Structure 1
Amino acid sequence: MFTTYKVKPFFDEMLKASGKPKDHYQKFYEMLHNFSADELKEKHETAQLSFLRQGITFTVYHNNVGAERTMPFDFVPIIIPPEDWETIEKGMVQRTDALNCFLHDVYNEQQIIKDGVIPKELVVDNPYYYAKQVQGINIPLNNHIFLAGIDLIRDENGKYLVLEDNLRNPSGISYVYQNRYVMRQVYPEFFAKHSVQTLEHQVTYLHEAIMDHAPKGVDNPRAVLLTPGIYNSAYYDHVFLAQQMGLQLVEGRDLMVANNIVYMKTIRGLEKVDIIYRRIDDDFLDPLAFREDSTLGVDGLLEAYRQGNVAILNGIGNGVADDKAMYVYVPDMIRYYLKEEPIIDNVMTYRLDDPEQRDWVLKRLPELVVKNVGASGGYDMLVGPHATLEEIELFRGKILENPHQYIAQPTIKLSRAPAYQGEDFYPCHVDLRVFVMRGKETHVFPGGLSRVALKKGSLVVNSSQGGGGKDTWVMKSGGMS
Structure 2
Amino acid sequence: MYEMDLLDNTENVNRLLARYGVKFGIYKNNTFKEQLFPFDAIPRVIQKEEFDYLERGLKQRVLALNMFLDDIYHDKKIVKDKVIPEDFIFASSGYMPECEGVTPVKKIYSHISGIDLVKGKNDEWYILEDNLRVPSGASYPMIARDLCRRSSPKTFRDNQLEDNRNYASLLRKTMDNVNVEGHTVILTPGRYNAAYFEHSYLAEKTGAHLVNGSELIVEDDKLYYVDYRGKKERVGAVYRRISDEYLDPMNFNPESVIGIPHIFDVYAKGNVALLNAPGNGIADDKGIYYFVPKMIRYYLGEEPVLSNAPTYLPFYEEDMAYVLEHFDSLVLKDVAEAGGYGVVFGSSMTREQKEQFIALLKKEPRRFIAQEVIDFQDLDIQDNGDVVARKADLRAFVLMADEPYVWKSGLTRFSRNPDSFIVNSSQGGGFKDTWVLSR
- SS at 1:257's partner residue? strand
- The alpha carbon displacement at 1:389 in A equals 4.1
What residue number does 1:441 align with? 403
Aligned partners of 1:305 and 1:77: how far apart in 2? Answer: 41
* C-alpha contact (below 8 Å) 2:94/2:284 kept by paired residues: no
- The alpha carbon displacement at 1:128 in A equals 1.6
Aligned partners of 1:106 and 1:400: how far apart in 2? Answer: 28
- The alpha carbon displacement at 1:387 in A equals 4.1
Which one-letter code corresponds to 1:228 in the other structure? P
* CA shift digits 1:151-208 (9 cap, x unpaired): 0101120101100000000000111212212322333342232111002322112101
- SS at 2:178's partner residue? coil
Where in structure 2 are the equivalents of 1:27-42 lying within 5 Å? 27-28=1-2, 31-32=3-4
What residue number does 2:187 align with? 226
* C-alpha contact (below 8 Å) 2:88/2:366 kept by paired residues: no
Q: Which runs of 5+ in 2 are unaligned?
A: none
Identity %: 37
* C-alpha contact (below 8 Å) 1:429/1:453 kept by paired residues: yes
- The alpha carbon displacement at 1:235 in A equals 0.6
Where in structure 2 are the equivalents of 1:13-412 lying within 5 Å? 27-28=1-2, 31-32=3-4, 43-131=9-97, 133-215=98-180, 218=181, 221-266=182-227, 267-412=229-374
Aligned partners of 2:115 and 2:355: how far apart in 1? Answer: 32
* C-alpha contact (below 8 Å) 2:25/2:33 kept by paired residues: yes
* C-alpha contact (below 8 Å) 2:225/2:235 kept by paired residues: yes
Would you say how many aligned residue pairs link Structure 1 and Structure 2?
A: 438
Aligned partners of 1:63 and 1:192: how far apart in 2? Answer: 47
- The alpha carbon displacement at 1:105 in A equals 0.4
- SS at 1:177's partner residue? helix
- SS at 2:204's partner residue? helix
Which one-letter code corresponds to 1:271 in the other structure? E
Aligned partners of 1:270 and 1:261: how far apart in 2? Answer: 12
- SS at 1:49's partner residue? helix
Aligned partners of 2:290 and 2:369: how far apart in 1? Answer: 9
Aligned partners of 1:264 and 1:424: how far apart in 2? Answer: 51
Aligned partners of 1:339 and 1:363: how far apart in 2? Answer: 34
Superposition TM-score, scaled by structure 1 size: 0.88
Aligned partners of 1:268 and 1:291: how far apart in 2? Answer: 28
- SS at 1:294's partner residue? coil
Aligned partners of 2:13 and 2:345: how far apart in 1? Answer: 32
- SS at 1:352's partner residue? coil
Aligned partners of 2:9 and 2:179: how far apart in 1? Answer: 46
Aligned partners of 1:393 and 1:48: how far apart in 2? Answer: 44
Taking structure 1 as reference, are residues 140 and 194 closer, same or farther at Cα in structure 2, changes over 3 Å only? same
- SS at 1:417's partner residue? strand
* C-alpha contact (below 8 Å) 2:70/2:103 kept by paired residues: no
Which one-letter code corresponds to 1:112 in the other structure? I
* C-alpha contact (below 8 Å) 1:74/1:421 kept by paired residues: no
- The alpha carbon displacement at 1:395 in A equals 2.5
- SS at 1:397's partner residue? helix
* C-alpha contact (below 8 Å) 1:225/1:247 kept by paired residues: yes
Aligned partners of 2:153 and 2:416: how far apart in 1? Answer: 24
Please identify the structure whose Cα radius of gyration is greater: 1
- The alpha carbon displacement at 1:388 in A equals 4.2
Q: Which runs of 5+ in 1 are unaligned?
A: 1-26
RMSD of the alignment, in Å?
Answer: 1.6
* CA shift digits 1:238-261 (9 cap, x unpaired): 111111111111111111111211
